[in-house]
Amino acid sequence: MSKPFYITTPIYYVNARPHIGHAYTTIACDTIARRQRMLGFDTYFLTGTDEHGQKIERAAQAAGTDPQKFADEVSAQFRGLWQRMGITNDDYIRTTEERHKKGVGELFRRIRDKGYIYKGTYTGQYCVSEELYVDGLKPGDPCPTCGRITETVQEENYFFKLSAFQDKLLELYNSQPDFIRPETRRNEVISFVKSGLRDLSVSRSTFQWGIPVPDDPKHVIYVWLDALSNYITALGYGSDDTTKYKKYWPAEVQMIGKEIVRFHCVYWPAFLMAAEIPLPKAIVAHGWLLFEENKMSKSRGNIVRAETILDVLGNDALRYFLLREIVFGQDGSFSFDALVQRYNADLANGLGNLASRTLTMINRYFKGEVPFPSQRAARKAGDDVIAEQAEKAIKECKALFDQYQFSRGLEAAWALVGAVDKYIVENEPWALGEKQDEESRARLATVLYTSAEALRIVTALAHPVIPEATAKIWAQLGLDGIAKFDLSTLKWGQLQLGSKLGKVEPVFPRADKKAIERMQEMEDQQRGGVVTDAQPGVPEKTAAATPSAEAAKPEAAKPAATVSSDGKITIDDFAKVDLRVAQVKVAERVKGADKLLRLEVDLGYETRQILAGIAEAYAPETLIGRKVVIVANLAPRKMRGLESNGMIVAASLEGGKPVLASFLEEVPLGARLK
Ligand code: MSP
């Protein structure tokens, strides 16, 4: 019986469509899962979507739809993307599924029965965007994590006795130093826990979109307790069939982004300890994918979609770039230039070129059969150097991949590609091929065998990262079923002499400058079009269901609202304008534009940048904290090189002086005017 290996991604919120930040985590986990399968582990890989909570409820409201429908659409986009990317997840959990709800209810009940849940009253600040209770803030203070204004919550809640687990958690971090990786995150968590843990509110009663508390359905379970449970409910915890749960839990690796370390390294083990459930072996946190120096995220509007890269360069290019370019655990930048550069250098000119020149020459000079290397006379020291380099690559790759150091592992494998390239240039097999004497033939056989064997080894090592191209190269080498190859047996000299090559075809065509332009254009079109983050919270209805040409058409190109001859519009026409309440967080003058202010406004579910021609009427500092009305679904526009995502509504007085629309009563952020 092979050893079980359970690996999970975070479950992604359905308020945003997938982008390459999400893909990064999923690709890293997929790579680990593929490698573990090749090493003979009974691997189980889980991903899914997080669909409850106030943030999703509000995003659905903003999109004018009900939360379930909203979640269905976005969850399907995530699932569709993973399918397109060939992600090998064994299950896909959605927190709105019955199996999950049942398991969460069971976990809540169990923790309560053990005496760790009690009723009390919570008064404090809550960040809806992070779905996080924040201690020590006053009403109106921003969330220290994301900067959005927190909301005051005062309600009767169920509390979890987190304070009872402070010592147990510290003991856990101490006795299992690998529980939190990397070290920097571990240290952060330890100091957070040492600073003191307050009991945690684990229910909400002021909104509905969640799983009801067992026996008290006025409350819904706190979305993080709900979400974290997915890791066991997907295995059947709380259901009639617990076979998978018994087999795969505890997880070997739970991969997360660094911003959710506290939830996974403090709350999650505490919940499990309370329920007397075994703890996962390791929580591994990676860094952020940055775009233009900021975390790539929907609210910043700086996302890049995976689909664009898949369309232009393919799946392997995205996977290779993310794992090779970013030092795992640290933040790393994404740019189309760097992507294409890396693709050309390592894949097109590197592995792709090595494969095509080696295999083409075997075809030409040895009728497509792996040649027999010379045993004695025609050997040179360089041949053995390649064999040693290959053994070194195998060893280093193993050690580094075991530690999830993907970039260094790939570097070690590609050192072999570089060495073989050099070896081929030095030995000039094309010149040897022109000669007919026995020694030249023997030398040629050795050089091509050595190159092909090194190619086989790099291909096997790289398979978990670039599964598509390596499967093709493997078949071109005349081998079958790379995914089934037992990676633990990989060593120099396994290539079958005399075996027949498969059909040789290029795997990585070179990309030119146009590839960068195409990708940039595709992304610009997305941002400026109907399906855009400029209309946050609106699920990408069109992308999967209708032809993309229609989906990509800018709003401006769509037929305008019909105006009747008396100048009246219908209520439906009016409803197309999405007017919302927002709060000014940042206001500053725009250099060289006397009338223009650059504002950052908070809509409750996201923050966005708007340029407003009100600088002559309002000093920027007087606007901070002020609630305004914005047109939230206006197509983005560039002014002075800055993108404006919406418009502030103001009365226009004589002489053009604007007076901002405002309210006498208190109004929540994001509220719609209709
Ligand atoms: N729903 C919660 C997680 C619950 S897990 C029980 C959540 N969802 S999320 O969609 O906001 O983000 C989840 C994860 O997506 C991050 O932890 C990270 O793994 C990945 N990423 C999202 N944006 C990313 C980057 N810009 N860079 C790297 N990873 C990113 O939090």
For residue 230, give the ligand 1 atom closest to its CA: 6
For residue 286, report the distance from its CA to the centre of ligand 1, in Å: 10
Distance of CA 34 to the CA centre of its chain: 18
Q: Is the CB of 268 under 6 A from ligand 1?
A: no
Q: Tell me, what's the pLDDT at 567? A: 63
Q: Tell me, what's the pLDDT at 564? A: 53
Nearest residue to 507 via CA among 466, 479, 540: 466
Nearest CA to ligand 1 atom 17: 257
For residue 10, give the ligand 1 atom closest to its CA: 5
Q: Is the CB of 51 under 6 A from ligand 1?
A: no
For residue 11, report the distance from its CA to the centre of ligand 1, in Å: 8
* Torsion sign across C-alpha atoms 648, 63, 569, 639: positive
Q: Check residue 10 and report its DSSP letter.
A: P
pLDDT tens digits, one per residue of 119-172: 999 888 999 999 999 988 988 888 988 888 888 888 899 999 999 999 999 999
Q: What is the largest CA-CA distance in the chain?
A: 98
Residue with tokens 């059909």: 503
Q: Is the CB of 17 under 6 A from ligand 1?
A: no
Nearest residue to 8 via CA among 256, 283, 254: 254
For residue 29, report the distance from its CA to the centre of ligand 1, in Å: 13
Residue 51 contacts residue 227 (beta carbons within 8 Å)? no
Q: Helix, strand, or coil here: 596?
A: strand
Q: Is the CB of 50 under 6 A from ligand 1?
A: yes
Nearest CA to ligand 1 atom 6: 228
Residue 329 contacts residue 408 (beta carbons within 8 Å)? no
Cα dihedral: 568, 573, 574, 579 (round 10): -150
The CA–CA distances, whole Å, from 324 to 254, 393, 414 equal 21, 15, 10
pLDDT tens digits, one per residue of 278-288: 999 999 999 99
Q: Tell me, what's the pLDDT at 62? A: 86
Q: Tell me, what's the pLDDT at 233? A: 98
For residue 483, report the distance from its CA to the centre of ligand 1, in Å: 28
Q: Helix, strand, or coil here: 116?
A: coil
- Residue of 20, 24, 75 best suited for mutating to test ligand 1, as the one with most atoms within 8 Å of CB: 24
Residue 202 contacts residue 195 (beta carbons within 8 Å)? no
Q: Is the CB of 48 under 6 A from ligand 1?
A: no
The CA–CA distances, whole Å, from 552 to 434, 524, 561, 634 equal 55, 10, 19, 16
Q: Tell me, what's the pLDDT at 586? A: 86
Give 546's contacts (C-beta < 8 A, 6+ positions apart). none
Residue with tokens 């294409």: 340
For residue 12, report the distance from its CA to the centre of ligand 1, in Å: 6
Q: Check residue 486 and report its DSSP letter.
A: -
SS (H, E, C) 559-582: CCCCCCCCCCCCHHHHHCCCEEEE
Nearest residue to 213 via CA among 273, 159, 267, 135: 159
**Which residues does the chain have with pLDDT short of 50?**
529-563
Q: Is the CB of 6 under 6 A from ligand 1?
A: no
Q: Tell me, what's the pLDDT at 559? A: 33
* Torsion sign across C-alpha atoms 299, 47, 257, 250: positive
Q: Check residue 352 and report its DSSP letter.
A: I
Give 170's contacts (C-beta < 8 A, 6+ positions apart). 190, 193, 194
Distance of CA 192 to the CA centre of its chain: 26
Q: Is the CB of 355 under 6 A from ligand 1?
A: no
Q: Tell me, what's the pLDDT at 295? A: 84
Nearest residue to 37 via CA among 472, 335, 464: 464
For residue 260, give the ligand 1 atom closest to its CA: 17
Q: Is the CB of 262 under 6 A from ligand 1?
A: no
Long-range CB contacts (within 8 A, 24+) of 654-659: 657/616, 657/617, 658/613, 658/614, 658/617, 659/617
Q: Tell me, what's the pLDDT at 594? A: 85
Rounded to 5 degrees, what are φ and ψ at 297? -160, 155
Q: Check residue 500 and report its DSSP letter.
A: B
Q: Is the CB of 257 under 6 A from ligand 1?
A: yes
Nearest CA to ligand 1 atom 30: 21
For residue 268, report the distance from its CA to the centre of ligand 1, in Å: 16
For residue 12, give the ligand 1 atom closest to its CA: 10
Q: Is the CB of 611 under 6 A from ligand 1?
A: no
For residue 399, report the distance from its CA to the centre of ligand 1, in Å: 27
Q: At residue 187, what is the residue type?
A: N
Structure tokens, 560: 């305008």
Q: Which secondary-structure segment (H or E) carries 43?
A: strand 42-50
Nearest CA to ligand 1 atom 5: 10
Strand order in the sheet with 289-291: 294-295, 289-291, 332-334
For residue 9, give the ligand 1 atom closest to its CA: 19
For residue 45, report the distance from its CA to the centre of ligand 1, in Å: 17
Give 629's contacts (C-beta < 8 A, 6+ positions apart). 579, 580, 581, 582, 648, 649, 660, 661, 662, 673
Rounded to 5 degrees, what are φ and ψ at 171? -65, -40
Q: Is the CB of 283 under 6 A from ligand 1?
A: no
Cβ atoms within 10 Å, residue 92: 18
Q: Is the CB of 25 under 6 A from ligand 1?
A: yes
Classify strands 151-160 and 117-127 as parallel, antiparallel or unpaired. Answer: antiparallel
Q: Helix, strand, or coil here: 655?
A: helix
Q: Is the CB of 18 under 6 A from ligand 1?
A: no
Q: Is the CB of 226 under 6 A from ligand 1?
A: no
For residue 225, report the distance from its CA to the centre of ligand 1, in Å: 16
Q: Is the CB of 23 under 6 A from ligand 1?
A: no
Q: Is the CB of 297 under 6 A from ligand 1?
A: yes
For residue 70, report the distance from its CA to the centre of ligand 1, in Å: 19
For residue 255, report the distance from its CA to the centre of ligand 1, in Å: 10
For residue 289, give the ligand 1 atom closest to its CA: 27
Q: Helix, strand, or coil here: 551?
A: helix
Q: Tell me, what's the pLDDT at 6? A: 98
Q: Is the CB of 501 under 6 A from ligand 1?
A: no
Helix and strand counts by DSSP (H, E) for the chain? 25, 27
Residue with tokens 């000093």: 619
Q: Tell me, what's the pLDDT at 592? A: 82
